[in-house]
Structure 1
């Protein structure tokens, strides 16, 4: 019987001025990670490993400016997506980009997620923050229904359609990529105490309850609205497989408290697994030896897990 081949994982090095190359090297220095897959680094030619099957995204040197760094970072993403789409690699891990440089380099996307969705032809994509281990023990997976909005703009941006969309994609991804047969998805309340019967707002009655009815009718095992002060603890204890958070800080504050350094950004809805560390480029500490590869290690580990489904 032929031995099963190792998965092939593409890793884009991100903005070459940042800590992406450092944390990638740190992750691949871990013997457990190094031996678990065949890795293809995609980035500036000067940062690739001699004698390996890495792929150049173009020339770059430290004396060049932000636009050159953004250009090579974007080109690396384009190349790596092509490899994932044609089956050359089984999953994609992306090191951080710096959005202003990305745009100056000619890539007019808000970030990775939108570029990945367009290049892959995915109809709809969702960003999930995932930690398969947390300071409280169990896993925590959080999807942000709305992201970078002022708090005053959140109620107008929320809708039953949006929650149904997010929860449905999340449930399907948990089935297909995590192997969870019947995912349990919790909808986090918008208001304190889930509005306490309308005392503190009407979003639960007007938005969350209709979304729950539609999800349950469609066969999604959905729960809520559950107040923010209990839903994340219940998820970590194993009651739910994912939480849909109504706005950025309620989800991210809980997530980073429970999983700082172990969090992974996962794009759901793509035709291939994609993960990324939950930090930015950290241009201020690049090259100082202070970059922590923990989140990149977790991103690679989760990509390995998802690539096997």
Structure 2
């Protein structure tokens, strides 16, 4: 119920992800636990028939799936039913069996959600997992969610620079991988001082704006074992990473490193920084998934809007079996609500 004289907060825009994955059932679980877990109101962008079928198979009352054409009604509907903004599928979805024909609907859900945030109808975007290989067959031209969101940001916020960066967050660790989905053998050639400096600046800005940390501390991992061992185990740490850190320090940022990656993620070490910058995918994702496999959140920082996502995939192997955990999605919804609230309070975008 809205408070008299106070404009209600726009709901979060939650996309269905791949219709054959676990996204639809996770959305139902999150709505079911909305009060117990104190979740912000959200509207699900999905096929209505899909959600009613998912509700039936999961033992939910399908009458609690309510289509909404106007997001302003979403928060009101959310109290008693799951509001669904209709994104029709080309064909009925079968749990665990993705269809290229439904790829355009997956893409449409993301695009529509971002457009609604740009128009002020939604406060942030939360995306359920997609299957990139399925979308490629449907003509998707981006490596993944992050790159597509960057393109949408440039389209809907043409005056605001968009430099999307993937940050994985949990209560125990925040980490950014400098390079993401590339072969390990290609990582050294992709490291540049400019890339490290740019990414660390984006991290510092987001830690202040989105996480409320006034003086953020960033720890930078070395590339090689023991951060190169003074050149004995590789030159990248001393020739690329260290000069970048010194440049950031000269700007007044609290950045340390390069640190040996095998000793920077234990409990005592994590207390010395607010976020870590890893040099490659597994260097950063192994520790956070070990610490918070079920509760980790993928947040895209460096965008003019808030976007979060569960830190897991479509899980086709367990889709429709009622065993998927919604813990990460709930954490993503909470974080999106917190980030958008901070931006609203401070008047930042």
TM-score, normalised to structure 1, is 0.92
Q: Deviations over 1:51-78 (max 9, x none)?
A: 5543122234126961222111100001
Q: 1:222 deviation in Å? A: 0.6
Partner of 1:50: 66
CA distance in 1, matches of 2:199, 2:101: 35
CA distance in 2, matches of 1:62, 1:120: 29
Aligned-pair distance for 1:298? 0.9
Q: 1:282 to 1:164 in 2, by over 3 A?
A: same
Gaps of 5+ in 1: 133-138
Structure 2 partner of 1:129: 168
Shift of 1:106: 3.0
Q: Is the 8 A contact 2:19 2:98 kept in 1?
A: no
For the Cα contact (< 8 Å) 1:9–1:37, is it kept in 2? yes
Quick one: distance in 2 between partners of 1:105 and 1:163? 34
Contact 2:22/2:319 (8 A) holds in 1: yes
Provide, for residues 134-155 of structure 1, a one-character-per-residue CA deviation record: whole Å limited to 9, x for no partner.
xxxxx20110011122222211
Query: Post-superposition shift, 1:33?
Result: 6.5
Change (3 A) 1:107 1:156: same
Counterparts in 2 of 1:95 and 1:236: CA distance versus 1, 3 Å: farther
Question: Which piece of structure 1 moves more, 229-238 or 260-269?
Answer: 229-238
CA distance in 2, matches of 1:33, 1:82: 30
Q: Which residue of 2 aligns with 1:23?
A: 26
Cα distance in 1, alignment partners of residues 121 and 269 from structure 2: 36
Number of the residue aligned with 1:171: 204
**Quick check: 1:263 aligned with 2:263?**
no
Distance 2:38 2:296 in 1: 22
Aligned to 1:135: none
Alpha-carbon contact 1:129-1:143 (below 8 Å) kept? yes
Instruction: Give 1:25 deviation, angstroms.
Output: 1.1
How many positions carry a matched residue from both structures? 303
Measure, in 1, the Cα distance between the counterparts of 2:270 and 2:236: 27
Structure 1: distance between partners of 2:269 and 2:312: 22
Q: Secondary structure at the match of 1:25?
A: helix
Q: Is the 8 A contact 1:6 1:36 kept in 2?
A: no
Alignment of 1:54-93 (within 5 A): 54-59=84-89, 60-62=91-93, 66-93=99-126
Cα deviation digits, residues 81-122 of structure 1 (max 9, x gap)? 001111111111100011122122232211111111111114
Q: Distance in 1 between matches of 2:5 and 2:66?
A: 30
Contact 1:7 1:307 in 2 (8 A): no
Match of 2:133?
100
CA distance in 2, matches of 1:285, 1:6: 35
Structure 2: distance between partners of 1:162 and 1:175: 20
Which secondary structure state, in structure 2, belongs to the residue aligned with residue 69 of structure 1? helix
1:50 aligned counterpart, secondary structure: strand
1:221-250 Cα shifts (integer Å, max 9, x gaps): 111111101212267642111101011111
Rounded to whole Å, the distance in 1 between the matches of 2:37 and 2:226 is: 47
Cα separation, 2, equivalents of 1:55 and 1:236? 45
Change (3 A) 1:110 1:202: same
RMSD over equivalenced CA pairs, Å:
2.0
Q: CA deviation at 1:193?
A: 1.5
